[in-house]
A and B are shown apart, each in its own frame.
Chain A
Amino acid sequence: MKRLKAVLAVLALVLAFSGTARAGEITVYTALEDDQIPVYLKSFQEQHPDIKVNIVRDSTGIITAKLLAEKNNPQADVIWGTAVTSLLLLDKQGMLAPYNPKGIERVLPQFKDKAKPARWVGIDAWMTAFVCNTVELQKRNLPLPKSYADLLKPEYKGLITMPNPASSGTGFLTVSALIQLFGEKKAWEYMDKLNENIAIYTHSGSKPAKMAGAGEYPIGISFGYRGIMQKRKGEPVETIFPKEGSGWDLEANALMKKASIKPEAKVFLDWAISDEVMKEYNKNFAIISVGKDNPVPEGFPAKPLKQLIKNDFSWAAENRDRILKEWNRRYGSKETK
Chain B
Amino acid sequence: MKGNHRPFGTDELCQAALAGLFLALLVLFVFAPLSELFLKAFSEGDDGLSGFGRFAGTLSDPALRLSFWNSLWVSMTSSSLACGAALLTALSIYRTRMPGKPLVRGLALLPLFAPTMMHGIALVYLFGNKGLVTGLGWNIGLYGPKGIVLAEILYVFPQAFLILSAALEISDRRLYEAAETLGAGTLKRFWTVTLPGLRYALLNAFFSGFTLSFTDFGAPKVVGGNFNVLATDIYKQVIGQQNLSMGAVIGLLLLGPAVAAFLAERAVSGLHSATVSSNTVPVFPSKNPLAEFFALSWCSLVGILSLSVVGAVLVAALVKVWPYDLRLTLDHFLFRNVAGYGLESYKNSLFISVVTAILGTAAAFGGAYLVEKTKSPRPIREAARFLALLPLALPGLVIGLSYIFLFNRPAFEFPGGFSLKNPLHVLYGTPWILVAANIVHFFSVPFLTAVTAMRRLDPAFESVSATLGVPLLKTFRRVTLPLCFPALLEIGSYFFVNAMVTISAVVFLYPPSFKPAALAIVNMEDAGDIAPAAAMSVLLLVTNIAVRAAYGLLTQRVKKKSELWLGKERKEYAAA
User: Are A64 and B47 in contact, with the CB atoms below 8 A?
Assistant: no
| Across the A-B interface, the 8 shortest Cβ-Cβ residue pairs | A34-B339, A54-B512, A61-B239, A167-B240, A336-B144, A336-B225, A69-B404, A17-B430
Instruction: Give chain B nearest CB distance to A282 CB in angstroms.
Output: 19
User: Are B226 and A216 in contact, with the CB atoms below 8 A?
Assistant: no
Size band of the interface chain A makes with B:
35 or more
User: Are B527 and A61 in contact, with the CB atoms below 8 A?
Assistant: no
User: Are B63 and A27 in contact, with the CB atoms below 8 A?
Assistant: no
Instruction: Give chain A nearest CB distance to B426 CB in angstroms.
Output: 6
Instruction: Give chain B nearest CB distance to A143 CB in angstroms.
Output: 20
Give A65 to B526 CA distance when docked, in angstroms.
Answer: 17
B230-238, B279-287, B453-461 - interface stretch: B230-238
Q: Which residue of the partner chain, among B66, B524, B530, contacts A333 with CB atoms under 8 Å? A: B66
Give every chain A residue within 8 A of B513 (Cβ-Cβ).
19, 54-55
Give every chain A residue within 8 A of B129 (Cβ-Cβ).
215-217
A176-184, A186-194, A230-238, A260-268 - interface stretch: A230-238
> Is B179 in contact with chain A by the CB < 8 A criterion?
no
Q: Which residue of the partner chain, among A33, A54, A70, contacts B404 with CB atoms under 8 Å? A: A70
Give every chain B residue within 8 A of A216 (Cβ-Cβ).
124, 128-130
Instruction: Give chain A nearest CB distance to B457 CB in angstroms.
Output: 29
User: Are A333 and B228 in contact, with the CB atoms below 8 A?
Assistant: yes
Give A66 to B505 CA distance when docked, in angstroms.
Answer: 12
Give every chain B residue within 8 A of A64 (Cβ-Cβ).
242
Give every chain A residue within 8 A of B340 (Cβ-Cβ).
34
A72-B408, A216-B129, A336-B143 given; A18·B324 CB < 8 A: no
> Is B405 in contact with chain A by the CB < 8 A criterion?
yes
Give A226 to B232 CA distance when docked, in angstroms.
Answer: 24
User: Are A235 and B321 in contact, with the CB atoms below 8 A?
Assistant: yes
A18-B429, A166-B240 given; A69·B339 CB < 8 A: no
A33-B339, A34-B339, A34-B523 given; A73·B409 CB < 8 A: yes
Q: Which residue of the partner chain, among B235, B322, B325, B401, contacts A203 with CB atoms under 8 Å? A: B235
Give every chain A residue within 8 A of B432 (Cβ-Cβ).
14, 17
User: Are B124 and A56 in contact, with the CB atoms below 8 A?
Assistant: no
Give every chain A residue within 8 A of B404 (Cβ-Cβ).
66, 69-70
> Is A50 in contact with chain B by the CB < 8 A criterion?
no
User: Are A69 and B236 in contact, with the CB atoms below 8 A?
Assistant: no
Residues of chain B at the chain A interface (Cβ within 8 Å): 46-47, 63, 66, 124, 128-130, 141, 143-144, 221, 225-228, 232, 235-236, 238-242, 244, 320-325, 337-340, 401, 404-405, 408-410, 426-432, 507-508, 511-513, 523-524, 526-530
Q: Which residue of the partner chain, among B324, B428, B524, B528, contacts A135 with CB atoms under 8 Å? A: B324
Give every chain A residue within 8 A of B240 (Cβ-Cβ).
61, 164, 166-169, 203
> Is A62 in contact with chain B by the CB < 8 A criterion?
yes
User: Are B410 and A73 in contact, with the CB atoms below 8 A?
Assistant: yes
A34-B339, A89-B242 given; A167·B405 CB < 8 A: no
Closest residue of chain A to B217 (Cβ to Cβ) is A203
Give A82 to B429 CA distance when docked, in angstroms.
Answer: 21
Instruction: Give chain A nearest CB distance to B41 CB in angstroms.
Output: 13
> Is A335 in contact with chain B by the CB < 8 A criterion?
yes
User: Are A33 and B527 in contact, with the CB atoms below 8 A?
Assistant: yes
Q: Which residue of the partner chain, among B226, B324, B512, B523, contacts A27 with CB atoms under 8 Å? A: B512
Instruction: Give chain B nearest CB distance to A260 CB in angstroms.
Output: 14
User: Are B244 and A62 in contact, with the CB atoms below 8 A?
Assistant: no
Closest residue of chain A to B508 (Cβ to Cβ) is A66
Closest residue of chain A to B341 (Cβ to Cβ) is A34
> Is A119 in contact with chain B by the CB < 8 A criterion?
no
Give every chain B residue within 8 A of A335 (Cβ-Cβ).
226
Give every chain B residue within 8 A of A149 (Cβ-Cβ).
none
Give A206 to B338 CA distance when docked, in angstroms.
Answer: 16
> Is A332 in contact with chain B by the CB < 8 A criterion?
yes
Q: List 17 A-B contacts (CB under 8 A).
A: A18-B429, A19-B430, A59-B526, A61-B239, A62-B508, A64-B242, A66-B404, A72-B409, A200-B143, A200-B225, A203-B232, A203-B240, A206-B528, A216-B128, A226-B528, A335-B226, A336-B226
Instruction: Give chain B nearest CB distance to A136 CB in angstroms.
Output: 8
Give A166 to B143 CA distance when docked, in angstroms.
Answer: 19
Interface members, chain A 262-298 (any B CB < 8 Å): none
Give every chain A residue within 8 A of B323 (Cβ-Cβ).
214-215
> Is A86 in contact with chain B by the CB < 8 A criterion?
yes
Closest residue of chain B to A64 (Cβ to Cβ) is B242
Known: A17-B430, A167-B239. 16 other contacts (CB 8 A): A18-B430, A34-B340, A34-B526, A35-B339, A35-B529, A69-B244, A69-B405, A73-B410, A86-B242, A93-B46, A166-B240, A209-B528, A214-B322, A215-B323, A229-B528, A336-B141
Closest residue of chain A to B47 (Cβ to Cβ) is A321
Give every chain B residue within 8 A of A91 (Cβ-Cβ).
none
Q: Which residue of the partner chain, among A19, A233, A320, contacts B321 with CB atoms under 8 Å? A: A233
> Is A45 in contact with chain B by the CB < 8 A criterion?
no
User: Are B63 and A19 in contact, with the CB atoms below 8 A?
Assistant: no
> Is A210 in contact with chain B by the CB < 8 A criterion?
yes
Give A69 to B530 CA distance when docked, in angstroms.
Answer: 30
Give A30 to B124 CA distance when docked, in angstroms.
Answer: 30
A81-96 near B? 1/0 per residue, CB < 8 Å: 0000010010011000
A57-B523, A168-B240 given; A215·B429 CB < 8 A: no
Give every chain A residue within 8 A of B431 (Cβ-Cβ).
17
A166-B241, A215-B323 given; A69·B408 CB < 8 A: yes
User: Are A69 and B508 in contact, with the CB atoms below 8 A?
Assistant: yes
Give A75 to B410 CA distance when docked, in angstroms.
Answer: 12
Give every chain B residue within 8 A of A215 (Cβ-Cβ).
129-130, 323-324
Instruction: Give chain B nearest CB distance to A52 CB in angstroms.
Output: 9
Give every chain B residue within 8 A of A65 (Cβ-Cβ).
238-239, 242, 244, 401, 508
Q: Which residue of the partner chain, among B46, B321, B529, contacts A234 with CB atoms under 8 Å? A: B321
Give A200 to B129 CA distance when docked, in angstroms.
Answer: 13
Closest residue of chain B to A33 (Cβ to Cβ) is B527
Closest residue of chain A to B66 (Cβ to Cβ) is A333
Interface members, chain A 191-226 (any B CB < 8 Å): 199-201, 203-204, 206, 209-210, 213-217, 226
User: Are A204 and B228 in contact, with the CB atoms below 8 A?
Assistant: no
Instruction: Give chain B nearest CB distance to A80 CB in angstroms.
Output: 13
Give A206 to B129 CA distance when docked, in angstroms.
Answer: 18
Give every chain A residue within 8 A of B241 (Cβ-Cβ).
166, 320, 324
Give every chain B residue within 8 A of A75 (Cβ-Cβ).
408, 428-429
> Is A334 in contact with chain B by the CB < 8 A criterion?
yes
Give A214 to B131 CA distance when docked, in angstroms.
Answer: 10
User: Are A333 and B226 in contact, with the CB atoms below 8 A?
Assistant: yes
Q: Which residue of the partner chain, among A55, A167, A217, A320, contacts B236 with CB atoms under 8 Å? A: A167
A59, A209, A214, A216 interface centre (most CB from chain B within 10 Å): A214
Interface members, chain A 1-59 (any B CB < 8 Å): 14, 17-20, 27, 33-35, 54-59
> Is A319 in contact with chain B by the CB < 8 A criterion?
no
Give every chain B residue within 8 A of A17 (Cβ-Cβ).
430-432, 511
Give A35 to B341 CA distance when docked, in angstroms.
Answer: 9
Give A203 to B526 CA distance when docked, in angstroms.
Answer: 12
User: Are A213 and B228 in contact, with the CB atoms below 8 A?
Assistant: no
User: Are A35 and B226 in contact, with the CB atoms below 8 A?
Assistant: no
Give A55 to B432 CA distance when docked, in angstroms.
Answer: 19
Closest residue of chain A to B147 (Cβ to Cβ) is A336
Closest residue of chain B to A236 (Cβ to Cβ) is B324
B239, B337, B338, B339 interface centre (most CB from chain A within 10 Å): B239
> Is A110 in contact with chain B by the CB < 8 A criterion?
no
B66, B236, B529 interface centre (most CB from chain A within 10 Å): B236
Give every chain A residue within 8 A of B130 (Cβ-Cβ).
214-216
Give every chain B residue within 8 A of A234 (Cβ-Cβ).
320-321, 324-325
Give every chain B residue within 8 A of A35 (Cβ-Cβ).
337-339, 527, 529
Give A77 to B497 CA distance when docked, in angstroms.
Answer: 35
Give A59 to B240 CA distance when docked, in angstroms.
Answer: 11
Give every chain B residue within 8 A of A321 (Cβ-Cβ).
47
Give A57 to B341 CA distance when docked, in angstroms.
Answer: 11
User: Are B528 and A233 in contact, with the CB atoms below 8 A?
Assistant: yes
Give every chain B residue within 8 A of A333 (Cβ-Cβ).
63, 66, 226, 228
